[in-house]
Amino acid sequence: MPNQDQADLRLNLARLRQEHEDFDVAINAMIQTGCDALRIQRMKKKKLVIKDTITKIEDQVIPDIIA
């Protein structure tokens, strides 16, 4: 994979990790304030989608090593 593509993936990965952390903070704040359970569930689903995307990008960035 070319270096520029690798750098772009790593940048996107960092952005998604930050977004995932932001969702975590927002969900915890919603729980603390007693927000609607349906809203919290929707936020958790969005957070899970971000986590899945992070995992896919990590698989592209980190090469498979067969031991």
- Residue given tokens 């609607």 in the structure block: 36
Residue 59's nearest CA partner among 4, 3, 13, 8 is 13
Mean pLDDT by 10 residues, the chain (67 residues): 82 96 96 94 97 93 72
Distance of alpha carbon 12 from alpha carbon 10, whole angstroms: 5
Q: Is residue 38 part of a domain?
A: yes
Per the structure, the complete domain to which residue 7 belongs is given by 3-58
Q: Is residue 48 part of a domain?
A: yes
The confidence score (pLDDT) of residue 1 equals: 61
Q: Is residue 42 part of a domain?
A: yes
The confidence score (pLDDT) of residue 42 equals: 96
Q: Is residue 63 part of a domain?
A: no
Is this prediction's pTM over 0.75? yes
Q: Is residue 52 part of a domain?
A: yes
- Token duo for residue 23: 């969702």
Q: Is residue 67 part of a domain?
A: no
Domains in the chain, number: 1
The confidence score (pLDDT) of residue 49 equals: 97
